[in-house]
Structure 1
Amino acid sequence: MNASSRPTVRRRGLAAAGVAAALALTLAACGSSGGSSAMPGMDHGTTSSPATSPGASQTSGDMPGMDHMATGNGLSDTQDGYRLTSDDATLPAGKRAVYRFTVKGPDGKPVTDFAVDQTKRLHFYAIRSDLTGFQHIHPTMAADGTWSAGLAPLRAGSWRLFASFTPATGDGKGKDFVLSRTLTVPGNATKTPLPAPAGSTQVDGYTVTVKGEPMAGMAHPLTVSLAKDGKPVTDLQPYLDTYAHLTAFHEGDTAFAHLHPTTKVTGDHGGPDLTFHALLPTSGNWRLFLQFQTGGRLHTAALTLHVG
């Protein structure tokens, strides 16, 4: 089944157990990694899946600016009868590797028909337990429903791998899921301390500033501003139909949240300000990863945000 040339953009939000997320969010992009980052501890996957490949179904019927919200914090491999399975419990350290997994439905059979979300059928994330080594990948699926995610070299330690998807058929049709599994990379694992909360960071010559003071479990605006050489950035390019992608992970349990800008895409001149509606369900420190594109290159900036 083929998707149309421009699938409807749909988003995901996450909340912790017992908190229902209900945000109107728009225009999020999931950046696959085509470029490199100067930020330590951040890697980029390189494998992507075309939106028009077999098994992809275009999502439809969405009101502009509305998302289908997933509930939970992404820390389980099972939800509503859907299960993330894999035979890979370990992967080697220090070299590229492929992580293979399957999404099984309530009938126990592999799911092969997924709705297209942000031009992809499935979004895959890897994060080390100390919130370093962030990777955001768009894997490929074989005819039997087995997905293959090509990972950049992993450091020794414990990792959590997230799959974000929406079934196009079956009991879960139209519902967003984020499931995860843990993975061990053998070796001498040295923990990297989480950087202190800060209002700005730098990557590839860009200064990224985040303004806002979110409270746990409450919708709150965040503003991200970008500058280079002291001047506002106004050449942000659309990447997967939007200007930025913001992923957050909670310190201690690696709970996952996905935040989205409401800024309208108007060609290759986005910026300097992007407004996000954020719902971070748990208090404490969150590590934010912002992905944006200029001049055909993807940049990934990271900073720590404290949520009261």
Structure 2
Amino acid sequence: MADDGTWTADLAALEPGTWRTYASFTPDSGPGKGKDFVLSRTVTVPGDAKKTPLPKAASSTEVDGYTVTVKGVLMAGMAHPTAVSISKDGKPVTDLQPYLDTYAHLTAFHEGDLAFAHLHPETEAKGGNGGPDLAFQAMLPKPGNWRMFLQFQTGGKLHTAALTLNVS
């Protein structure tokens, strides 16, 4: 944050097209103290843009040798218990490290209008390790395809798993 209160962030080079950036934060002082905020802005990168369809809906994916599996049926407009399980080489992962005060961050974007949701597991990260199962109360407002990104940390390295889920 700059002295004038503006924030900047370096981004990796983006492909040509229209992108949406999001900032999610909770002020620790001032009139918005303790409230969750999400700001977003459209960014356009000039050039020949190519539309890329979402990958098909699937309940599991792999990243960096880890398998991430989502369990539970997501239903639009209602909080629903959802579990994410993380394994490696067929064995449960129990060495999840706290990252930004929690064992995982689950961010979801709705196909078509880019509605946004950011979720944390119900288990508090009070030191030590977590895993392999992380319980969430997922409330996604609309039916359709949601692109989800789960960030988790092991061995000091951040991993980001991406998968598409269909919400009925």
TM-score for the superposition, normalised by structure 2: 0.93
Q: Distance in 1 between matches of 2:85 and 2:47?
A: 39
DSSP-derived class of the 1:224 partner: strand
1:159: which partner in 2? Answer: 19
- Say whether residues 1:285 and 2:145 are aligned partners: yes
How is 1:2-151 mapped onto 2 (pairs within 5 angstroms)?
Answer: 141-151=1-11
1:272: which partner in 2? Answer: 132
2:68: which partner in 1? Answer: 208
Superimposed CA distance per residue, residues 75-123 of structure 1 (whole angstroms, 9 cap, x where no aligned partner)? xxxxxxxxxxxxxxxxxxxxxxxxxxxxxxxxxxxxxxxxxxxxxxxxx
Instruction: Indicate the percent of aligned positions where both proteins have the same amino acid.
Output: 75
DSSP-derived class of the 1:150 partner: coil
- Say whether residues 1:169 and 2:30 are aligned partners: yes
Q: Distance in 1 between matches of 2:67 and 2:134?
A: 14
Q: Distance in 2 between matches of 1:257 and 1:265?
A: 20
DSSP-derived class of the 2:10 partner: strand
The one of 92, 98, 104 equivalent to 1:244 is 104
Amino acid at match of 1:169: G
Q: Which runs of 5+ in 2 are unaligned?
A: none
How is 1:161-240 mapped onto 2 (pairs within 5 angstroms)?
Answer: 161-167=21-27, 168-170=29-31, 172-240=32-100
> How many angstroms does 1:239 deviate by?
1.2
Amino acid at match of 1:205: G
Amino acid at match of 2:120: H
DSSP-derived class of the 2:120 partner: strand
CA 1:149 to 1:226, structure 2 compared with 1: closer, same or farther past 3 Å?
same
> How many angstroms does 1:266 deviate by?
5.2
Superimposed CA distance per residue, residues 202-254 of structure 1 (whole angstroms, 9 cap, x where no aligned partner)? 00000000011111110001100011011111111111221101000000011
Q: Which runs of 5+ in 1 are unaligned?
A: 1-140
Q: Distance in 2 between matches of 1:165 and 1:235?
A: 27
Per mean C-alpha deviation after superposition, the further-off stretch among 189-198 and 201-210 is: 189-198
> How many angstroms does 1:269 deviate by?
2.7
Q: Distance in 2 between matches of 1:234 and 1:163?
A: 30
Residue 260 of structure 1 contacts residue 278 of structure 1 at CA under 8 Å; is this kept in 2? no
Aligned residues: 167
Q: Distance in 2 between matches of 1:143 and 1:253?
A: 34
- Runs of 4+ in structure 1 over 6 Å off: none
Amino acid at match of 2:107: T
TM-score for the superposition, normalised by structure 1: 0.52
Q: Which has the higher strand share?
A: 2
Residue 102 of structure 2 contacts residue 120 of structure 2 at CA under 8 Å; is this kept in 1? no
